[in-house]
């Protein structure tokens, strides 16, 4: 079974009560769930919440919702706890709860490598950076990978460094610089190996948990996508999501 799990944390430091923030009259977590349901490869979707109020609201639109402890540190730890209850799930997808418009095809792109290659343990997405703002933003992780599309490193700094380029715009044009999109697909054993390991030095330095996988020898397959997704981390992001809904999504409903 391919199990999609959407972790939803109420006490976000930058946007308190984020899962319940309204976009077009619906909570953001509901928008994310409805978008994820458009995936053709997911067999089941579970929402993992950490708050009673969120649980009650989610239970009205999602038949599979789990209440998990507030003290769980990361979304990956939260999905690992939920995955323990689904022993038949051999592929587990971590779908960020703050991606209200994530295309179902985008989720399927990330899943496909594990269906076609038994050696792939973990996959994730990357998209080529197109603007200087994306390049400079430390909130947008960058990734470099080898000729087999296996991740070499993730960083909040612009990587690779294009030595011959004189400006950031020239760096984007001369080099292929990719941003990481934080949707992960795990084989079951890889997920539990990852979440049972301790935080590593590079993970602590960069504040990027995917580096723990690389430091522990868990290879990560990078899937290049042309799809874009809007992640909501701040009040400003929420305003952008509401404008996007009014301009793009609502006219198509």
pLDDT mean across residues, the chain: 93
DSSP for residue 251: G
- Parallel, antiparallel, or unpaired: how do β-strands 26-27 and 22-23 relate? antiparallel
Q: Quick: pLDDT tens for 175-212.
A: 899 999 999 999 999 999 999 999 999 999 999 999 99
> What local confidence, expressed as pLDDT, does residue 252 receive?
65
Distance, CA of 148 to CA of 144 (rounded, Å): 11
| Measured distance between the N- and C-terminal CA atoms of the chain, rounded to whole angstroms | 31
| 3-state SS string for 23-57 | ECCEEHHHHHHHHHCCCCCCCEEEEEECCHHHHHH
Residue 250 has pLDDT above 80, yes or no: no
Give domain limits for the chain.
2-252
The fold of 2-252 is Spore Coat Polysaccharide Biosynthesis Protein SpsA; Chain A (3.90.550)
> What local confidence, expressed as pLDDT, does residue 75 receive?
86
Give the mean model confidence (pLDDT) for residues 3-32.
Answer: 90
Cα dihedral across residues 58, 63, 68, 73: positive or negative: negative
């Amino acid at each position: 079974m391919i199990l999609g799990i959407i972790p939803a944390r109420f006490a976000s430091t930058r946007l308190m009560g984020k899962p319940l923030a309204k976009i077009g009259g619906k909570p953001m977590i509901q928008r994310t769930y409805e978008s994820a349901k458009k995936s053709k490869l997911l067999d089941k979707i579970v929402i993992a919440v950490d708050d009673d109020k969120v649980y009650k609201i989610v239970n009205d639109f999602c038949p599979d919702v789990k209440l998990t402890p507030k003290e769980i540190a990361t979304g990956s730890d939260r999905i690992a706890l939920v995955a323990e209850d689904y022993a038949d799930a051999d592929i587990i997808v971590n779908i960020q709860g703050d991606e209200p418009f994530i295309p179902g095809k985008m989720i399927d792109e990330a899943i496909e490598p594990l269906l076609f290659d038994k050696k792939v343990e973990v996959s994730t997405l990357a998209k080529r950076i197109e603007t200087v703002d994306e390049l400079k933003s430390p909130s947008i992780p960058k990734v470099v990978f080898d000729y087999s599309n296996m991740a070499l490193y993730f960083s909040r700094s612009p990587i690779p460094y294009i030595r011959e380029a004189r400006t950031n715009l020239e760096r984007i044009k001369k080099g292929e610089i990719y941003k990481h999109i934080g949707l992960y697909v795990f084989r079951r054993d890889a997920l539990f190996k990852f979440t049972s390991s301790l935080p590593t030095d590079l993970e602590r330095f960069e504040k990027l948990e995917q580096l723990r996988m690389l430091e522990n020898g868990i290879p990560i397959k990078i899937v290049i996508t042309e799809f874009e997704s809007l992640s909501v981390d701040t009040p400003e992001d929420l305003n952008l999501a509401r404008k996007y809904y009014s301009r793009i999504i609502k006219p198509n409903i």
